[in-house]
Structure 1
Amino acid sequence: MFSDKLKLTAKDILEKEFKTGLRGYQQEEVDKFLDLIIKDYETLHKEIEALQQENTRLKRMMDEQKIKQPTPPPVQQPVYTSANTDILKRLSNLEKAVFGSKLYE
Structure 2
Amino acid sequence: MSKRAQLNGKAILEKDFKTTMRGYNQEEVDEFLDIIIQDYDAFNQEIVRLQQEIDKLKKSTPDQPTRTRVAQQNTQVNYDVLKRLSNLEKEVFGKKFIDAEEETN
TM range (shorter): 0.5 to 0.7
Structure 1 66/10 Cα, relative in aligned 2: closer, same or farther at 3 Å?
A: farther
Cα deviation digits, residues 42-66 of structure 1 (max 9, x gap)? 0000000000000000011113786
- Provide the alpha-carbon RMSD of the alignment: 2.5
Structure 1 71/6 Cα, relative in aligned 2: closer, same or farther at 3 Å?
A: same
What CA distance in whole angstroms lies between the structure 2 residues aligned with 1:52 and 1:31?
31
Aligned to 1:40: 39
2:44 match: secondary structure: helix
TM-score (norm 1): 0.59
What CA distance in whole angstroms lies between the structure 1 residues aligned with 2:8 and 2:53?
23
What CA distance in whole angstroms lies between the structure 1 residues aligned with 2:64 and 2:30?
51
More helix by share: 2
Unaligned runs of 5+ in 1: 74-105
User: Percent identity at matched positions?
Assistant: 46
Aligned to 1:92: none
TM-score (norm 2): 0.59
2:16 match: secondary structure: coil
Matched, 1:62 2:58: no
With 59-68 and 29-38 compared, the bigger mean Cα shift is at 59-68
